[in-house]
Chain A
Amino acid sequence: MVDRKTIIKVNGLVKMYGNFTANDNLSFEVYKGEIFGFLGANGAGKTTAIRILCGLSYPTSGEIEVAGYDAYTQREKIKSNIGYMSQKFSLYEDLTVRENIRFYAGIYGLSDSEIRGKTDILIDKLDLKKAANKLVKDIPLGWKQKLAFSVAVFHDPKLVFLDEPTGGVDPITRRKFWELIYDTAKKGVTVFVTTHYMDEAEYCDRISVMSEGRIEALDTPANLKTKYSASNMDEVFLKIARN
């Protein structure tokens, strides 16, 4: 459950590309165990900010701390303390389920004995025993998604970034995925998620909405709906983005 311990601290984040300001003075905090929705139109600057928070790109200025580490000087520390999943790039299709787990666990620095112990537990939990030695390209999309998420949190990170994790999957699988997210957050892992499905914004504890490089709104879904006199998040989003 959410406690007030801060896991992401951003104060005055600016990112410039030449004369273009991709992130214009962002300030926000994300708490431990929180499901934080990071929304915004295409080109609003979400990806730029996420890359900085994941330690993949330097900010131009501002104070940024992720999982207790500094975004300028401790980027490697950040990387080993977070998980990252995107729908598109997460798994190797030409490796088996087991090989993908082995690969990601290795990348995140787990020891062979840890990997051995945890792999079977995970395969059991995901109900993938029969598919464990199948190539990932031959398993259904819904399973891939569960697996991609599970390898992203396999090393028990404090924080996991999900970049449009549910694109294209059927409505039942999409909902099952969100139940998996809830279970993870309940264990104290912070979930930082982007989505284009506005009903999913409702599943988040708090959401921010970016527009043209700035955070235009940040609150709980219920408060945002009240503030923008909207009946759902779709309306909130349209009102903010159209300004």
Chain B
Amino acid sequence: MKDSYLEIISLSKSFRDTRALSDINIKIPEKCLFGIIGPDGAGKTTLLRIITTLMLPDTGSVRIKDMDIIRNYKKVRSFTGYMPGRFSLYQDLTVEENLEFYATIFGTTLQKNYNLIRDVYSHIEPFKKRLTRNLSGGMKQKLALSCALIHNPELLVLDEPTTGVDAVSRDEFWGVLKRLRDNGMTIIVSTPYMNEAGLCDYVALMHDGRLIETDIPDRIVERFNKSLLAIKSDNINKLVNDLRGYSSDSSAYLFGHEVHYYQEKKFSITDIENYLKRKGHEKIEIKGVRANIEDCFITAIEDYGDIA
């Protein structure tokens, strides 16, 4: 990994009995698109709040450009843009008023930095006189991003900007993030959608307050050291259950219209096929496939042994 721009060192945080973050260590290079990937309860929001100096960790530290963020919180805030997971603009201001408000807080103006946000803002500019509460979900999201960008931050932190957003808008949103990255911004974005990992330069996979792995997505996938099969038949639900019963060390889970299967011990595809035929499956298709991030995630949390 290149020299890190932001370094998270042994970070832990608890809320009463709940351990939200356990000893997190992550290095984030400059000018990259960095994804924090994990389900609800993984600790993503807590991590981002600490990075943006909105919350103090119990132990550990975060350094940006080799500077401690707590001691330098004012400076960090001046060059950081943050888009929280919960929509938090003023609903009773118009689109334009919200933008002007954020610009003023950071000592700049909408006119001065218009170019920075044009890409995103142009979609909602026709509605600039509209009250924010009357915007659609997609428009609110674009306005929130515009507000986070208005002071030309060098670090942009986004908490689940694509959650609950349809596939088309998600795709557009990632396009915007890529262009910002290409213009030299460092971007940290969290998401519960595993398939968005591939859109990031680097990712950190998180679960239950712990860091599972952090690296370039392709390298994480390369480290998946099991031979993975994609299996189809005429009855996918029965197929999952039958495959789980094939061997004591079987792992089988739904994956789109197929079942992904691996086991620790060596196996023969012909044996599996014959077994499935005996179980009454038809139209059986078995092929080897390359793992993706979701496979890596599933394997990692299965190894944890703490599945509800």
Residues of A within 8 A of B (CB): 40-44, 140-143, 164, 167-173, 175, 178-179, 182-183, 186, 196-199, 202-203, 221-222, 232-234, 237-238, 241-242
Q: Which residues on A sit within 8 Å (CB–CB) of B194?
A: 171
Chain A residue at minimal CB-CB distance from B192 = A168
Asked if A222 and B41 sit within 8 Å, CB to CB, the answer is no
Of B68-76, B94-102, B166-174, B273-281, the stretch lying at the interface with chain A is: B166-174
A179 to B167, CA, bound (A): 24
Asked if A171 and B297 sit within 8 Å, CB to CB, the answer is yes
Residue B201 CB within 8 A of the other chain: no
Q: With A172-B302, A199-B255, A238-B171 in contact, is A41–B166 under 8 Å at CB?
A: yes
Q: With A167-B164, A197-B193 in contact, is A173–B136 under 8 Å at CB?
A: no
Q: Which residues on A sit within 8 Å (CB–CB) of B40?
A: 141, 168-169
The 5 closest A-B pairs by CB, nearest first: A170-B39, A142-B308, A168-B40, A182-B237, A41-B166
Q: Which residues on B sit within 8 Å (CB–CB) of A202?
A: 256-257
A197 to B257, CA, bound (A): 13
Residue B121 CB within 8 A of the other chain: no
Q: Which of B247-276 contact A (CB under 8 A)?
A: 253-257
Q: Which residues on A sit within 8 Å (CB–CB) of B193?
A: 197
A17, chain B: closest CB distance, angstroms = 13
Residue B138 CB within 8 A of the other chain: yes
Asked if A221 and B257 sit within 8 Å, CB to CB, the answer is yes
B161, chain A: closest CB distance, angstroms = 13
Residue B54 CB within 8 A of the other chain: no
Asked if B165 and A196 sit within 8 Å, CB to CB, the answer is yes
Q: Which of B122-143 contact A (CB under 8 A)?
A: 136-138
A83, chain B: closest CB distance, angstroms = 20
A141 to B308, CA, bound (A): 9
Residue B227 CB within 8 A of the other chain: no
Q: With A42-B136, A43-B136 in contact, is A170–B301 under 8 Å at CB?
A: yes
A197 to B192, CA, bound (A): 10
Grouping DSSP codes into helix (H, G, I), strand (E, B) and loop, the B interface class, with mixed when no group exceeds half, is mixed
Asked if B169 and A41 sit within 8 Å, CB to CB, the answer is yes
A167 to B85, CA, bound (A): 14
Q: Could you list some 15 contacts between A and B, CB below 8 A?
A: A42-B138, A141-B41, A169-B40, A170-B39, A170-B207, A170-B297, A172-B301, A173-B307, A175-B253, A196-B165, A196-B167, A234-B195, A238-B171, A241-B166, A242-B168
Asked if B237 and A186 sit within 8 Å, CB to CB, the answer is yes
Asked if A222 and B167 sit within 8 Å, CB to CB, the answer is no
Asked if A168 and B163 sit within 8 Å, CB to CB, the answer is yes
Q: Which residues on A sit within 8 Å (CB–CB) of B166?
A: 40-42, 44, 196, 241
Asked if B256 and A232 sit within 8 Å, CB to CB, the answer is yes
Q: Which residues on A sit within 8 Å (CB–CB) of B254?
A: 175, 178-179, 203
Q: Which residues on A sit within 8 Å (CB–CB) of B169?
A: 41-42
Q: Which residues on B sit within 8 Å (CB–CB) of A172?
A: 253, 298, 301-302, 307
Residue B149 CB within 8 A of the other chain: no
Chain A residue at minimal CB-CB distance from B138 = A42
Q: Which residues on B sit within 8 Å (CB–CB) of A173?
A: 39, 307-308
A199 to B167, CA, bound (A): 11
Which residue of A143, A169, A182, A203 contacts B39 across the interface (Cβ within 8 Å)? A169
A116 to B136, CA, bound (A): 44
Asked if B294 and A241 sit within 8 Å, CB to CB, the answer is no
Q: With A142-B308, A238-B167, A238-B171 in contact, is A199–B256 under 8 Å at CB?
A: yes
**14 extra interface residue pairs, beta carbon distance < 8 Å, beyond A167-B164, A172-B302, A196-B166:** A41-B169, A42-B164, A44-B166, A168-B39, A169-B39, A170-B39, A171-B194, A171-B294, A171-B301, A175-B254, A179-B240, A186-B237, A196-B170, A238-B167
A178 to B241, CA, bound (A): 13
Asked if B39 and A171 sit within 8 Å, CB to CB, the answer is yes
A197 to B166, CA, bound (A): 9
A223, chain B: closest CB distance, angstroms = 12
A166, chain B: closest CB distance, angstroms = 10
B192, chain A: closest CB distance, angstroms = 5
Asked if A234 and B167 sit within 8 Å, CB to CB, the answer is yes
A221 to B40, CA, bound (A): 28
